[in-house]
């Protein structure tokens, strides 16, 4: 296994059995580049690939920072809906990009059966989109659309900040994902809303990025009309 990775044993909060997970050592991944929707490229191991833990015994899966946070009711739902169909399988050890996408899709299925909030679905879907982008697979677009639906619903129904997501960043993501999936009119509308919002001034870097992407969407719209 790569030196940047190590295994540790944890206890599953759903089935109470122990299993191994693989973690990335802190500070071994150097950031090379960031896309306009915050997809990060690393030199060395991409920590996002190891972000989801999957219990090999029962099929419970979640992002590692959320793994232990599960209500008794949700644990019961997983035991009744996911575990009976689950075939024992470990996700420990080095992951290929395909394995990491698979782990995220199992986490997504877990969120769906738990009837999770839109913000949680968006967070997982955008990461699946990034992994497909890194794999140069056009399924990236499907997952950007799912993430866009999640962020739009988050904006309409949830109270900010949602986890680490603030209202401005949510608006930015809606603008940028609309642009990336080709909804240029909507992209312009959402970016304008962010640029014109009084609380946007709290984050000048984000507003600057929003202005650039707003211009880009306008140029793309102009090109499309030619
Ligand atoms: Zn389990």
1 or 123, greater pLDDT: 123
55 Cα–ligand 1 center, Å = 5
143 Cα–ligand 1 center, Å = 27
83 Cα–ligand 1 center, Å = 8
58 Cα–ligand 1 center, Å = 4
18 Cα–ligand 1 center, Å = 8
Q: pTM for the full model?
A: 0.96
Average pLDDT over all residues of the chain: 96
Q: Tokens 């008794």 sit at which residue? A: 72
Position 123 confidence tier, pLDDT thresholds 50, 70, 90: very high
33 Cα–ligand 1 center, Å = 36
Closest among 112, 130, 129, 126 to 62, alpha carbons compared: 112
102 Cα–ligand 1 center, Å = 17
Closest among 157, 147, 166, 156 to 207, alpha carbons compared: 166
Residue 70 has pLDDT above 90, yes or no: yes
59 Cα–ligand 1 center, Å = 6
């Amino acid at each position: 296994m790569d030196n940047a990775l190590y295994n540790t044993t944890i206890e599953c909060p759903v089935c109470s059995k122990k299993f191994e997970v693989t973690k990335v050592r802190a500070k071994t991944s150097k950031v090379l580049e960031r896309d306009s929707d915050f997809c990060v490229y690393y030199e060395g191991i991409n920590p996002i690939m190891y972000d989801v833990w999957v219990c090999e015994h029962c099929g419970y899966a979640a992002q590692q920072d959320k793994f232990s946070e599960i209500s008794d009711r949700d644990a019961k739902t997983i035991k009744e809906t996911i575990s009976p169909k689950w075939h024992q399988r470990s996700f420990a050890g080095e992951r290929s990009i395909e394995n990491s996408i698979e782990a995220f899709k199992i986490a997504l299925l877990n969120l769906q059966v738990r009837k999770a909030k839109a913000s949680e679905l968006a967070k997982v879907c955008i990461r699946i989109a990034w992994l497909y982008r890194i794999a140069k697979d056009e399924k990236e677009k499907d997952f950007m659309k799912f993430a866009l639906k999640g962020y739009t619903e988050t904006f309409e129904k949830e109270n900010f900040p949602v986890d680490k997501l603030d209202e401005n960043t949510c608006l930015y993501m809606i603008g940028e994902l609309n642009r990336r999936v080709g909804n240029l009119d909507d992209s312009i509308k959402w970016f304008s809303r962010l640029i014109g919002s009084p609380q946007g001034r709290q984050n000048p870097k984000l507003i600057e990025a929003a202005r650039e992407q707003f211009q880009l969407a306008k140029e793309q719209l102009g090109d499309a009309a030619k």
